[in-house]
Structure 1
Amino acid sequence: MKITARDQQIFTAVMGLYCDNEGSPVASSKIAKQKGMAVCSATVRNVMARLEREGLLYSPHTSAGRVPTEAGFKYWFEEFFELSKIATYWQPQQHQLVEFAHGLSQKYQVCCCVGLPQASSRLVFRVEVLGFDSESWLVLLIDKAGQSHNICIKKPDNDSDAMRYQFAAWMNTVFSQQTLIEGLHRMRAMAHSAPPECHDQLAQWTRELSQQLGTDNSIVVGERYLYQSLELESELNIGVPFLHQVEDKLAFKNGVSVLYANELSTLNIEESIVISLPYFTEGEYQSRFCIICPVYAPIEAIIGEFSQIETVGS
């Protein structure tokens, strides 16, 4: 593209004025009045006409000002943001993911969809076995942050505190300083060394844990903002299927990435984008933090929040 420095200055001004949560066409007179823009309206009009011929802008109505095209957005992201270098290998705690999602959603009135950390990679610090009720034990696998993965199992027929303590000691031998998935493998391999009275409980617990480790989960906040801003009537499929599609599209891409919502069958909505960032635990990929918003949302400010994400995740 034959884009001069002045063309780029006017183009970025259009993008900044359009992405203000309103999405109104940007007039040349408004550009000329911007601070530091030492050009007249006629010059701005000429540049905007040239940008339109390049396919970066278009005019929805005669004399209505210009708005960016999809090609214009792509050019903006590629030329003015080093997205792949933003927040590489972010390693947040789960509570930070949730807090960040709620904070961004409320501040910018956007929808956030976040895949929760995979339970299978959580490192177990200790195991406790508690008497839950008259029929069940509660097994707690606790990590260093004090968060626990909990499963109820049926008590043995001759239940006693001594037996429960013995079973807890064996579980600590198996799981301490292991990830959940590795502990599950060790538990199967070491089942012969478990207290004989607890073999039935062990089989049940192994089955329950295996099922739980195979499930995905996510949180969605601010969904109402998306429905309101886009005036949607049909329900969107935002959640784990959406995250899986994003992962397929952005496999092995680190840093911030941008997709158009109409590229995803789970959304298939126009004039919207998905801003996505992967996160990790102990260097292992977990899932993605995604923002779904109209193209006229304050995108530059949102990306600025991601640029500070190392502080958020520290």
Structure 2
Amino acid sequence: MTKPLADPQLQSLDARSRDIFRTIVDTYLRDGEPVGSRNLSRLLPQSLSPATIRNVMSDLEQLGLIYAPHISAGRLPTQQGLRFFVDAFMELGDLSDDERRVIEAQVKASGSGATLEHMLTDASQMLSGMSRGAGLVLATKNEVPLKHIEFIQLEPTKALTVMVSQNGDVENRVVDLPVGVTASQLHEASNFLNAHIRGRTLAEAKSEIAKLKEETKAALDTLSQDLVERGLAVWAGAESGLPARLIVRGRANLLENVTAQADIDLLRHLFDDLETKEGLIQLLDLAEEGSGVRIFIGSENKLFSLSGSSLVVAPYRDKDARVIGALGVIGPTRLNYARIVPMVDYTAQMISRMIR
């Protein structure tokens, strides 16, 4: 179903111009190759001479919708042209029953009894395999209630802190120990924390312990009190800045058909950018801005402006309908958008259902 067009010039395109433009884009998305007037005359539903087609192509070029990559070559859609095609012409396909079953089975299997990160990693791998692009998942630190925290001494001055949330997620971090801490003090600090954090989020637990500062001093000796503060601080530190993890699978798919070293370097630059905090913030912002799937083509998002890649991204939500992450597919600008949009959308819906 076509969508309303904002640009009056584009609205004024006649049926013939639209057919020619649509055929150029369809050919590009399928083959990745420019198409000339002679080939177009064979592909179009109506009979038009190459000369007539060239005149129309000249008009489309002046509108900024297509361009010639080489002198005397055929035409390719510009980035503006691709956006126009996606907004005005693209009819979303629907997932086949088999594709729905694959997505449901994969998400349910990886989500049953596994950690959230394991489920998201599998979802990223699945999207990569189904799209032949790179599957991407951004997982924020969901503020779920805590169940248990424990200190396990690794060496005299280091301990492993294990935090278990009520949804079953387990996370480990190493914390520096005060000099002279004993195993019994570690146990005492764990017991005190567990008596006050159970059922609270990390932010609530920090606030509660701060309120109980005098009680803490009375209940624990100095070293154990220091442990309590360090135990919460190591998690709070991880929550500062952007509390997120990025999971990308299928990078090789993007490099598969790239031969020029310059293009390979651009893709590597993209992945370096994705793994910076700034890149993660941008991705989460993209997901939160829209209620459903969003498509970004090339430089429409500065994260992808150098590599010329496209991103199809959708948010997933917790039981309170808050956006807690995003997933999507990165690929070349000639992604099969009509197929990938419903695939990303359905996977995000399934992930949301599993974590509610």
- Normalising by structure 1, report the TM-score: 0.76
After TM superposition, give the deviation of residue 101 of structure 1 in Å.
1.9
Instruction: Report the counterpart of residue 210 of structure 1 in structure 2.
Output: 236
On the 8 A contact 2:328/2:344 being kept in 1, the answer is: no
More helix per residue: 2
Per-residue CA deviations over 1:244-265 (Å, capped at 9, x if unaligned) read 2445677633322233443555
The 5 A counterparts of 1:234-249 are 235-236=268-269, 237-239=273-275, 240-247=277-284
Q: Which amino acid aligns with 1:173?
A: A
How many residues end up aligned between the 2 structures? 299
Question: Is residue 255 of structure 2 the alignment partner of residue 223 of structure 1?
Answer: no
Instruction: Report the counterpart of residue 317 of structure 2 in structure 1.
Output: 280
**Structure possessing the higher relative contact order (Cα contacts under 8 Å, 6 or more residues apart):** 1
Q: 1:31 to 1:182 in 2, by over 3 A?
A: farther
After TM superposition, give the deviation of residue 73 of structure 1 in Å.
1.2
The 5 A counterparts of 1:60-79 are 60-61=69-70, 64-79=73-88
After TM superposition, give the deviation of residue 25 of structure 1 in Å.
1.1
On the 8 A contact 1:29/1:41 being kept in 2, the answer is: no
Q: Which amino acid aligns with 1:60?
A: P
- Normalising by structure 2, report the TM-score: 0.68
Task: List gaps (5 residues or longer) in structure 1.
Answer: 84-91
1:302 to 327, 340, 346: 340
Is the deviation greater in 95-104 or in 130-139?
130-139
Instruction: Report the counterpart of residue 144 of structure 2 in structure 1.
Output: 123
Instruction: Report the counterpart of residue 255 of structure 1 in structure 2.
Output: 292
Q: Which amino acid aligns with 1:295?
A: T
The 5 A counterparts of 1:1-314 are 1=10, 2-5=12-15, 7-20=17-30, 22-27=31-36, 38-40=45-47, 42=49, 45=53, 48=57, 51-61=60-70, 64-80=73-89, 93-118=116-141, 121-129=142-150, 131-133=152-154, 135=156, 138-153=160-175, 154=177, 157-160=181-184, 167-194=189-216, 195-197=219-221, 198-214=224-240, 216=242, 217-227=245-255, 229=258, 231-233=263-265, 235-236=268-269, 237-239=273-275, 240-247=277-284, 252-262=289-299, 266-269=303-306, 271-282=308-319, 283-313=321-351, 314=353
After TM superposition, give the deviation of residue 68 of structure 1 in Å.
0.9
Is the deviation greater in 293-302 or in 229-238?
229-238
* Aligned equivalents of 2:169, 2:33: Cα separation in 1: 47
* Aligned equivalents of 2:70, 2:182: Cα separation in 1: 81
CA RMSD of aligned residues (A): 3.6
* Aligned equivalents of 2:303, 2:59: Cα separation in 1: 36
Instruction: Report the counterpart of residue 4 of structure 2 in structure 1.
Output: none
* Aligned equivalents of 1:130, 1:96: Cα separation in 2: 27
Indicate the SS of the match to 2:264: coil
* Aligned equivalents of 1:287, 1:311: Cα separation in 2: 12
Is the deviation greater in 168-177 or in 149-158?
149-158
Identity of aligned residues (%): 20
